[in-house]
Amino acid sequence: MDTILMLLVFFSPTFASDSNGSSLSFWLFSTYIKGKTQFPEFSYTTTLDDITVGYYNSETYIPRGNTTNEDDVIHSDYIISISHYMHESFMRRSRLLGQDNKNDSLDVYQTLVVCELLDFHTSGKMITKDAAKGCTTDELCYFNKTFSYTVTATIGQDLLKPHLEEFKMKFEQFFYPVCIDTLKNYVKKREIEINRKVKPQVRLIQKASDSGGFVVSCLATGFYPRHINLTLLRDGQPVSDHEFTGGDLLPNGDGTYQMRKSLEISAEEREKHNYTCSAKHMGEEYHIDLVELHQHHIWIAIGVAMLLVCAIIVGLAIRNWKKGQKYSIPGPTERGEHDL
């Protein structure tokens, strides 16, 4: 069991929760399925912050996106150990849940392990969270040599609580340092990926709504890393979060992210207030004012109209020129005067 738990810690993930992007995380999310499905019986994904670095499909651990040899980051023995541990844990929880292993019912057991680095160097918290049949059973958090343990289901209490003190000691002395070391190793191997920076494209969009008013949307897309502060300002003051729709961080196909926040306003509000799209990413700020957007659209409309007028004038000039060529008076050569 020690080896298996070590493995969970080894692949432990961490949340980069700092809004400035100054923390890094390593994740292990594992799933064990009992029953007939199209998915592997046991699988897990390992992630460095938001970069998938590996996948286990019940038989083989497959590195993802690596450009260098990473055998010194994760040892193959740990991959085997975590598989054995997950299988034993699943069977134990199945029995506690009163499941009959001979029937065809579908049962799912999942574990998430998390550890993090603050400011890219300082060891942060570590979390293990277990779930059975889609519900969290228990959660353990370790930070600054202090444990907090939460049981959200009876099964969690039955499984870990009798051995909690022993587990805490091993957690602090072995599992936690192993996880942090693994995270640091991956940071070195994937330094270029995690340090890349892509500026956001920020847009402010106004569309007519079905209610006769407008929907104003603040959009930032194509940025990396994913940490961004995006909001709409009304007369220079942030609009309350409960007034927005959207606001979810979504991935783009190229590994960057996008976020959109929308606000529905009446025609009267549009005339009465000024709205600004505000974004802050990696220390840089971006602002687009709706008045400027409106003026920009006016100038575009004027430009299009002027181009259209010019096109009409040119077209008429070409037509008149062709007309004049057709009915022009013949010259001396054409009248035969050269035959004098």
CA distance 253 to 107: 32
pLDDT of residue 16: 41
The owner of tokens 């003051």 is 237
Banded pLDDT at 153 (limits 50, 70, 90): low
CA distance 7 to 2: 9
CATH of 2-195, one of 3.40.30.10, 3.40.50.300, 3.40.50.2300, 3.30.500.10: 3.30.500.10
> Per-residue pLDDT tens for 208-233?
888 888 999 999 999 999 889 999 99
pLDDT of residue 110: 86
Most confident of 46-55, 84-93, 99-108, 319-328: 46-55
Of the listed ranges 48-62, 94-108, 190-204, 287-301, the least confidently predicted one is 287-301
> Domain residue spans in the chain?
2-195, 197-340
Q: Are 6 and 81 in contact (CB under 8 A)?
A: yes
Q: Are 128 and 47 in contact (CB under 8 A)?
A: no
Q: Which residue has the higher pLDDT, 71 or 191?
A: 191
Fold of 197-340: Immunoglobulin-like (2.60.40)
Q: What is the mean pLDDT of residues 163-172?
A: 80
SS3 call for 77: helix
Q: Are 231 and 239 in contact (CB under 8 A)?
A: yes
Residue 174 has what DSSP assignment?
Answer: I
CA distance 221 to 223: 6
What's this model's pTM, rounded to 2 decimal places?
A: 0.64
The yes-or-no verdict on residue 161 having pLDDT over 50 is yes
Closest C-alpha among 298, 286, 312, 309 to residue 223: 286
Reported as type and span, the H/E element at residue 113 is strand 107-118
For the chain, report the end-to-end CA distance as a whole number of angstroms: 120
Q: What is the mean pLDDT of residues 264-292?
A: 87
- Percent of the chain beyond pLDDT 70? 72
Give alpha helix (H) positions in 33-128.
76-96
Reported as type and span, the H/E element at residue 316 is helix 290-326
Banded pLDDT at 178 (limits 50, 70, 90): confident
**E runs forming strands in 175-281:** 201-208, 214-223, 229-234, 237-238, 245-251, 257-265, 275-281
pLDDT of residue 68: 75
> Per-residue pLDDT tens for 89-109?
667 666 666 554 455 677 788
Average pLDDT, the chain: 78
